[in-house]
Amino acid sequence: MEKYLFSQFQKTEKFNVIIDNYNHNKRQLIHGLNEEGLAYLCCNLNDYGINKILIITNNEFKSKEINNYVKSYTNNAELFNPRELILYNVDALSKEDIHKRVDTLYKIINDKKLIVTTSLNSVVSRVIPKEKFKENILKLEYGRSYNFENLICRLNELGYERVDAIEGHGQFSVRGGILDIFSLSENNPYRIEFFDDEIDSIRTVDIKTQRSIKNEKQLVILPCNDAFFNKKELETIKEELGKD
């Protein structure tokens, strides 16, 4: 139904004026739309071929409202919330919110079609530079060799929590040559079995039953935070602080 409605709307004169102005890099002021109307227009623009769209609102409540409307028309919808600033208790920061921010950043870089809704607070808050973010994405592939101990150290650097049994995103566990990990980009944890340093199998597993679901060829592991430092950067920070 949405496809039919989209096709009819995209034939209208006003929509084609918007597209023509966009193609000629002309600035446009479009007014008179409520939240649902704005979402519908953006979904049509995205469907027509404008692959990346950013909607900025004046507050988080409005962002969530528009994002819900966008999600009612398309699966290409993401909400980017601001980072919480809690100086008195860093542990009080919501890991789920931080993980969602990281996952959204990954989709902004990789997804072909995406509509991101956010607020002014989110736009002005600093995030990890794009190149550094990409450098800290790990990809493990079936049949390739990786130094197991170095891999565990790398997961710690990326903010993953080592536990006895995985319960949620951002955790990993080790049993002999078996690595269980729940990457932020996945809906299920992965079980990776090593033979020496070579990956012998990669499988998704059910988090409740721990049974295998499906064999996979690779796994993408995202960092667990949108602001982090590696060992070299931490040493540099310590040196600079020591000068004072």
Give 16's pLDDT tier (boundaries 50, 70, 90).
Answer: very high
d(CA 20, CA 45): 12
Beta bridge partners of 214: 204
Residues of the chain with CATH 3.30.2060.10: 131-221
Asked whether the predicted pLDDT for residue 42 surpasses 90, the reply is yes
Average pLDDT, the chain: 87
Position with higher pLDDT, 165 vs 88:
165
Q: CA 173 → CA 168, 170, 188, distances in Å?
A: 11, 11, 14
pLDDT level of residue 88 (50, 70, 90 thresholds): very low
Q: Is the CB of residue 76 less than 8 Å from the CB of residue 111?
A: yes
pLDDT confidence of residue 126: 79
Q: Report the pLDDT value the prediction gives residue 208, as an integer from 0 to 100.
A: 85
- Residue bearing the bigger pLDDT, 89 or 26: 26
pTM equals 0.79
Spatial contact of 180 and 151, defined as CB atoms under 8 Å apart = no
Of 54 and 6, the structure prediction assigns the larger pLDDT to: 54
CATH 3.40.50.11180 positions along the chain are: 2-127
The CATH T-level fold of domain 131-221 is Penicillin-binding protein 1b fold (3.30.2060)
Of 3.40.50.11180, 3.90.1150.10, 3.30.950.10, 3.40.1010.10, the CATH number of 2-127 is: 3.40.50.11180
User: pLDDT of 147-177, one tens digit each?
Assistant: 999 999 999 988 899 999 898 899 999 998 8
